Structures are given as structure tokens and as C-alpha cells.
Amino acid sequence: MSLLSRRRALAGTFAAGAAALVGTLVARRAAAETPREIEVVARRFQFTPNEIPLKLGERVVLAVRSLDFIHGFHVPDLGIRADLVPGRVTRIELQPQAAGTLDFLCDNFCGDGHEEMQGRFLVSE
Amino acid sequence: MQRRDFLSLAALGGGAVFASGLSGCATAGAGAQDQDFYFVQLSDAHWGYQGAANPEASVTLRKAVAAVNALKIPPDFIVFTGDLTHTTDDPGERRRRLAEFKAIVADLQVKTVHFMPGEHDAALDRGAAYQEFFGQTHYVFDHRGVHFIALDNVSDPGAKIGDEQLQWLRADLAARDPNAPIVVLTHRPLFDLVPKWDWATRDGAQAVELLMPFKHVTVFYGHIHQEHHHMTGHIAHHSAKSLIFPLPAPGSQDKRTPLPWDAGAPYKGLGWREIEAEAGGTDFELTEFPVVLQ
């Protein structure tokens, strides 16, 4: 291989390596931007889980399934609420901005025990 | 003799157990005293409830009826601000409870009684069974110059008044004099008292906004099983005690679990109230009574 050919080959190797590195960085950034998904099940008269640890500033998506009723999912302190229609997965994105406890509850009256259907996010730094 | 004077004399004689006066709004001019009247508010009987929070649930409502019947001067009328019955999934059982409740309160000597549903009565079937026994869930009536509006914020399980009823309210208010006294009767608080306990009406702020142009508006409601007073601007909101079990002070603990029954003081925290309309219905004095008169 001539000197010129070797330089070209090396340049190609560097280019391929750089492209791979950029690809890895993009993939890592995409992974960082993909919110963690947390599965939640709603049934009369409880959420499972009903205590959900979160990291401060972490973006998460709750994937909530209701098994038996159009329950509500309400996080009063974040101004977030949704109706949970059975047979569908309701995705709710949130990103806590302060450490502490955030309450959530069913806000569609669902029967004798509705008042107990609540939970909380435990947000740590 | 004014009714307040009579109550003072009755208290001296042991008739009234305790009284707390509270003015809802500014007073009107002289000359309206001849329009004074009073009515009774009962709330949250939860007929059909069985549990440790009230082991005397099968007789509490009857005792309250007896206490109201014992009033020396009968009220002009009685209002019942929801949760007449405790909820059940069984439509047949729901109707049985509504029928039993209706039979018990038929013993009230004052026959003009205005009922409203609570979510325990109406949310699971959108008010179908309730309406079979008590008719419309929202309506108006007038009494001695005061316009009463019963709002339904419970038949929708999502605690909403709803666009249709809000439109009805807007139309009812459209022709009213902004100086005329208005009393709103409802079950849930129209404001966000404790949203994390579901002590709110999802679209209550829209009703309050419609009422805001009126100078003399007072709201009486139930749901929270305790006496509570709140102002949204110039509009006063007064919740009533229940006839089944008391609930904790708003937001005072994680869960809104009933306060435990006190065997040493049965019926503690339960009660009903008299509401005396003064000055043409622009001012109200509330007097709280226990379930069992001493």
C-alpha cells in the first residue's frame, strides 16, 4: 500500500470511529431523554404501587391501567389529572421539581372505599 | 319576641346546648326585620352505614328527627344537603336504603323538606335511583324574598356540576337583581378546600364566578362532616356537621378517615343547625345543635 493509500485508509478509520462515537453520544442522550416508565394498576379501591419513589427532576411516565372502573388519577400539587378508562393504558408524564411528598388520588367516586384510594410519590434529591 | 331572644331564654332553660353566631354578609337597611325566618340544615346521614365509627348508626337519624321535632318554634322548612344514604354497589339495596331514609324523615313534623343528593346517593348511577325517590337533583325555590338554588355536584362521579347545569345556573341568574339575596345549597364545597382529600368540586370555580356579581350570596353544604366557614371574596361558605361520624379537620392528617366513636360521649361531633335569615336574607345567624338534645 502506498503512503497515500495508507493515509486515506487511516482517515477512513478515524471517520468511521468518529461517526461511531457521535452515534454513541446521540444514543446516550436519547436514552437520557427517554423518561423512565412506571407501571401502575388501579382497581377498586387501591393503586398498586401506592408509594412511588422518584428522583428530583427525573422525567417519568406513569403507564396506568384500570381494571374495573373509570377511576381518576389526580395529583393536585402538580395540577395533573386523567380519567383511567379500563382496557386502555393511560400515560401520564411528570417531572417533580421539589423534594418531598406528592399525593395522588382517585377523584372519580368509585364506591364504598373510594375515600381510601390514594397514594403518594416520594421525591428524593 | 325575636327568635334570637327566644333562643337565649331557651338556653337559660337548658334547651339550646350551644350556639355560634356568624354573619354571612353585610346587613341590609332597616325595615326588613319582618322578613326574618329560619330553616334547619341536616346533612350526611349515610343511612345504611355499618361500621365502628358509629355503632349507633341505626338510631342516629331517628334521634336527629326527634330533636328537630322538639323545637319550640318550628322552622319554615328543612334542607338536607346530601349523602342521605351510604353508597352500595347493589341497585336494589340502594333503593331500599333510600326508601328507608325517606320513611324515617317522613316523621319530621315540618313537611317542607328540600333534599339534595350526595355522591354516596347518586354518583354510581348518575342520580337515577335518587330521582325516583326525591325528584330533581338541581332546582330553585324562593322563600320570603330569598332565592334558593340547589346545585348538584355529585351525580357526575367526577364531582362536576357540568356544562349543562352551569348554563342552567347562568340563565337563572341572568334576570336577578344583583342586590337580591341568594342562598346556594349543595353537597361538596364549591371551592378547593382539600383537593388531596377530594374535598372540592372540579368546576366549582365556574359556579362561584357566576355568583360573584351578586352582593348577597351564602352557600350551605355538607360532605366534610364538620362545621367549617370559608370566604371566596364576599361569598360565605358554611359546611354542616354530619349525622353519622365526624371527619378530621381539613388537611390535618394523611387520610380522611372517620374520627373514632367515643363510647364515653356518644354522638360527639355529630349535629345539625338552625339558620336564621335576618335583614331580608342578607345576613345569617347559625346555631349548632347536637343530635341528642340534653
DSSP state of B257: P
Q: Cβ contact (<8 Å) for B157 and A109?
A: yes
The DSSP H or E segment spanning B204 is helix B204-211
Q: Does B157 touch chain A (CB under 8 A)?
A: yes
Q: A102: nearest CA in chain B?
A: B196
Pairwise CA distance, residues A23 & A44, whole Å: 47
pLDDT in tens, B88-125: 999 999 999 999 999 999 999 999 999 999 999 999 99
ipTM associated with this complex: 0.87
Domain presence at residue B152: yes
> Is residue A112 located within the same domain as residue A54?
yes
CATH number for position A64: 2.60.40.420
> Is residue A118 located within the same domain as residue A92?
yes
CATH number for position B178: 3.60.21.10
Nearest to B282 by CA among B234, B232, B217: B217
Domain presence at residue B22: no
Domain presence at residue B265: yes
Pairwise CA distance, residues A122 & A103, whole Å: 9
> Is residue A81 located within the same domain as residue A44?
yes
Domain that holds residue A24: 1-34
- Cross-chain CB nearest to A115 (options B123, B159, B256): B256
CA dihedral B259, B263, B266, B267 (to 10 degrees): 10
Closest approach of A103 to chain B, Cα-based (Å): 7
Q: Cβ contact (<8 Å) for A107 and B124?
A: no
Per the confidence metrics, is the pTM higher than 0.80?
Answer: yes
Q: Cβ contact (<8 Å) for A109 and B86?
A: no
Q: How many domains does chain A have?
A: 2
Q: How many domains does chain B have?
A: 1
- Cross-chain CB nearest to B123 (options A105, A109, A115): A109
> Is residue A3 located within the same domain as residue A16?
yes
Over chain A (125 residues), what is each successive 10-residue block's mean pLDDT?
Answer: 48 48 46 85 98 96 98 96 98 96 97 96 96
Q: Tell me, what's the pLDDT at B81?
A: 98
Q: Cβ contact (<8 Å) for A107 and B86?
A: no
Domain presence at residue B9: no
pLDDT in tens, B224-257: 999 999 999 999 999 999 999 999 999 999 889 9
Q: Does B154 touch chain A (CB under 8 A)?
A: yes
The residue that leads in pLDDT, B78 or B31, is B78
Domain that holds residue B186: 39-249+257-289
> Is residue A40 located within the same domain as residue A28?
no
